[in-house]
Structure 1
C-alpha cells in the first residue's frame, strides 16, 4: 500500500494534509474493508449498531474514517430507528464535517446487479443526511475478487439514476491490494473536495442558515456560496414585493381578511340575536303579568257591573287574581320550552 502521496503536478491542487471520510452502505457492503484500506491496513473494530470513528496517519496525511452500521438492503422502513439515527450522526463525528461521503456498492461476480429496490433504499438512507449530501457523495463499486468488466458495467448502468444525483462521481475498486488503485481512489476523493469543500453537519448548516456569526477560520466554501444564493433570493423577493403600491389599503381594517371576514360577520349576527332574545325574555314576564292584569280587571269589571258597584269591584279583584295565575302558568310554560331547546 502507498505510504505517501505522489508529487503534485505543477499548477495542480495541493494535496490535503488531512482527509475526513464517512463510509455508508447496506449491511455487508464491505465498508470495514474500505476503512482498513484507507487507514493503511490498520486493524479495526467493525461497526455493528453504532458508528465507529477511526484515525491514522497514512499516505502523508492524517485520515479520519467513520464506519457506519449497515442499513436494510431493500427498504428504509425495515431499518431500525437506532441505525437511522447513527447514519444522521455520522457526519458530526468528523471534526468540522467530512470531506466526502462514500456510498459503498458491492459488486459480486456470483450475484446480479443491484435491484431497483436496493438502489432506492440506498438513496433514501443517504438522504437522511439531507438533500445536500449528494454534492459531497462518491459511489464506490467495491469488487469482490476478479469481476468481469461486463459485470461491473452492468452494475454502473443499473445505478445510473443514483450516479446522476452525485454528479456521476464514482470509482471502481477491483484490486484492494493495488497501491495504484488506492492512490487513484484518494485522488478521486481529493478532486471531489476541490470542487465542493467539505460537508457541514446539519446542526452547523442550520447555524449558518440562521446567520449566527461564525469565526472566519470556520467558514466553509460551500456555505458561503449557499449564503450568497440565499441573500440573492431574498433581494429578488424584496424587488417583487416592491412592485406593489406602497400605500395600498389595509384590507384587514376595512373589511377583514377573506377568511375571517365571513366568520366575524356571522359571529356578530349571532351575538346580536342572542342579545335580542335575552332582552325579550327579561322583559316578557313583567309585561305579560301587567297585560293579563289589565285584561282581567276589565273583564271582571264588565262582568260584575250587573250587580252594582260592589259586584264591579269584586269582578275586578277576581279578574286580577285569575289573570296573575294564568300569566304565571304561561311564563312557566314558555321558560320550560326555552330550556328544552337550549
Structure 2
C-alpha cells in the first residue's frame, strides 16, 4: 500500500427535500383540508477514524463526496425520508483543515471518533403548516434548504510514542527493522527512506510505537530535501531518538545541524525529551569510537548511548531509555502502561 499523508477533497451535504402541496381526498369528506407532508432532511458528511488505516491513499482516487438529497414530502401528511449520510473513513491522527489549509476544523486522535463536516439542509414544510383561519386551503409549500459545499484538506500525523530523527544514512531504518516487525527499505545511499514507517517495539514486558521519518539535512525546514514534509509525523511523539552515525567526520557538528532544523521547524519538537545515540559503532575501531562519542557528548551536553543495530550492541539500552521517557509521559497524562499483549 502506498503512503499518502495529505489530500484535498470536495464535500457536499444533501439538500433538504421539498414540502408537498396536497389535499385530503376521501369519499363523503367534502372539505378534507391540506395534508402535504414535509420534506426529509438532507444527508450529512462525516469524518470517522477507523482502525487498520495508516495512509490517505484512498483519497487520491476519489476526491468528491456528496450526501443524498432528502426525499420530498407526500400527501396524507407523509414526511419524506432523510437523505443518506456520507462518511469519510480516515486513519487515527488525521487533522482536517479548511480550504486555506491553515484553519483547523478537527483533530481525530481516537479510533471511532466522528466529526460532522457538513450538515444536510432541512426539509421544506408541506402545505399543512400554512393553514390558518383565513386560509383553509393553502397552495404553497417550502423548498428544502440547500446543503453545505466546500473543499477541505486531510492531513495525517502518525500517532507514535517515539520518533527517530537524524541525517540520511544515520541507521534509522536499520534500527526500526531490528527492534520491530517493520520492513523498511535499507540501502547504503542517502534518502533510502521516502515515507514514514511505523513499528511496535517491545522491551521488559512493555511495548511502544516507533516512527521513522526520512533523513533531515541542513535547510530542511525551508524545504530542502524531503524530511521537512514528514516532521509532522513526530510532532505527537513523547520522545525523540536522535541517531548520529559513527561514520560522520564530526558527529558533534552533525548533531547541531539536526537540532537547528528541529528548532526552526517548530511544533514543539525542540522541547521534546531526547535520547542521543551514536549509531553504527560497529563500523569504526575502538579509538575512533571513543573520539566520536566525545565529540557528540560535547555537542549534546551528555554522554551518548552507543548503538549498533546490525550487531544489536546497545539496542536494549536504547529501548529501555526510550521506554523510561514514555512511561514518565504516560504517567503524567494519567494513562496506563502498555503491557505486551499475548
**TM-score, normalised relative to structure 1:** 0.41
Of the two, which has the highest radius of gyration? 1
**TM-score, normalised relative to structure 2:** 0.41
Greater percentage in strand: 2
